[in-house]
Amino acid sequence: MTEQTHTRVWPVGALCVAVADALHARFNPVAVEGEISGFSRAGSGHLYFSLKDETGQLRCAMFRRAVSLLGFMPREGERVVVRGRLGVYEARGDLQLVVESLQRSGQGNLYEQFLQLKEQLQREGLFDPARKRVPVPIPRAIAVVTSPNAAAWQDVATTLARRAPHVPVLLFPALVQGAQAPAALCEALSRLYRYIAEGSLSARAEQGSAVTIDTILLVRGGGSIEDLWAFNDATLARLMVKSPVPIISGVGHETDVTIADWCADVRAPTPTAAAEMAAMDHGVLRARLQQLEQGLAQALDGQLIAQQRRLKQLAQTLARPGAVLSQRDARLRLLAQSLQHCRRQYLERRMHLVDGLESALRRAVQQSVQGQQNVLASVATRLRMLDPQRVLERGYAIVTRPDGCVVKNAAQLQTRDRVVVRFAKGQALLQRVDAPQASSGENGELF
């Protein structure tokens, strides 16, 4: 049996899996250093690129979860160190490194220091979006903190001169690289803060007297992490958040991120972009002013036309005073007639009301008098019935003593007492005398 007969025949997929397992057991986890080539960022957030050097090339994929942990965005041609797991992309049979972390080549401990400082300052609240301010679109003056010899200063000055030549620009020079740069940046910011607070520090000679600064630009061109390390200083970060006016940072290129970027009120991807954010383009302002001017002119024209129409009406009125007086006289006569008519109507209503009240009062008085007459008649009848004269007319008499006291009982009288007897008509004076005994045995007395 030949050697070819004993060689195992692998299915393609199975061989890819076997190779992947062998790679995993032999190399993973693995760290690789090389230069980024063919860099692309998918809409899903994944990164795809190749790592290459003078002798080889390796396909890499970095998925969105790992990308979210990066403190910067890699770019084409950058030399980096990646860590991940080597495997085989079975669909194409390609060797592929799934990247789990990535850092710029040579940064080593600097990157770890950067992450630690970022976490510390974040806990202190220096990156809180609530404290960040929006720069004014039309500043009275702009201050720039950077090196006067840096290309960033030239880019900013050129951009502001083109976009906003009417805005004064003041340079507060400072070192932007090296061991002394953090202290120099802090000193420049401190001088700038005193200038803003006191307004007594002289501006640069070409700017003349002191001006009011509304925006600060902190800028520097691109470079490695070592070149930009001055902007990852804790003292500078804490000083930036104390700024009396908004700060726009424009440090490095778009993919470069520093602590100063997170402390600034606004982060610009480049120094030029920072200058563009600091002031509105004077062409836009000119167009806006032209619109306002046109609107004002139209408003004034409208007012002028209205006033001219009003003056014309007044002129016509003054040109015919007789007609005006006639109109006024006719108006007065009409008002007088209306007043007289209203007065007559008022008097008529009042007279009608008085007549009604008088009739009602008359009826009420009549009813009251009739009622009182009925009451008096009833009382008179009762009084007549109680009149002693009526009793006397029925045959009765009233016996009184001479002093007027009524005698109600014969026992009240003594022999020879005088009494007055009142009849229905007239009266008689009588004297009591003793009476003889009656044969019937009844006692009696005679007068």
Q: What's the CATH code, domain 115-279? A: 3.40.50.2300
Instruction: Spell out a b/e string for 214-231, using b for 16 or more CB atoms within 10 Å of the CB, else e.
Output: bbbbbbbbbebbebbbbb
List strands edge to edge, sheet with 215-220: 169-173, 142-146, 215-220, 247-251, 266-267
pLDDT (tens digit per residue) in 89-125:
777 777 888 898 888 776 556 677 888 899 999 999 9
By the 8 A CB rule, do 90 and 20 touch? yes
Is pLDDT above 60 for 437? no
Please check whether the two domains, 3-105 and 115-279, share a CATH topology.
no
- Residue 435: band (very low, low, confident or very high) from pLDDT cuts 50, 70, 90: low
Contacts of 175 (CB under 8 A, 6+ apart): 147, 181, 184, 185, 230
Place of tokens 């401990």: 109
By the 8 A CB rule, do 10 and 93 touch? no
By the 8 A CB rule, do 118 and 71 touch? yes
SS3 296: helix
Q: Is 404 left (phi over 0), alpha (psi -120 to 50) or beta?
A: left
pLDDT (tens digit per residue) in 32-87:
888 888 899 899 989 999 988 888 888 899 998 888 888 778 888 788 888 888 88
Cis amide leading into 29 (omega within 30):
yes
Q: What are the φ/ψ torsions at residue 248 (nearest 5 degrees)?
A: -110, 125
Superfamily per CATH, domain 3-105: Nucleic acid-binding proteins (2.40.50.140)
Q: Mean pLDDT throughout 397-402?
A: 86
Domain regions of the chain by residue span: 3-105, 115-279, 281-320, 387-447
Contacts of 282 (CB under 8 A, 6+ apart): 163, 164, 165, 166
Identify which of 447, 410, 411, 413 has the alpha carbon closest to the alpha carbon of residue 432. 447
- Residue 4: band (very low, low, confident or very high) from pLDDT cuts 50, 70, 90: low
Residue count of the chain, please give it.
Answer: 447
Identify which of 150, 142, 135 has the alpha carbon closest to the alpha carbon of residue 184. 150
Place of tokens 């009266």: 427
Percent of the chain with pLDDT over 70: 89
**pLDDT value of residue 203:** 44
Quick one: DSSP state of residue 406?
B
Bridge partners, residue 223, by sequence: none
Mean pLDDT score of the chain: 83
Q: Mean pLDDT throughout 285-306?
A: 83
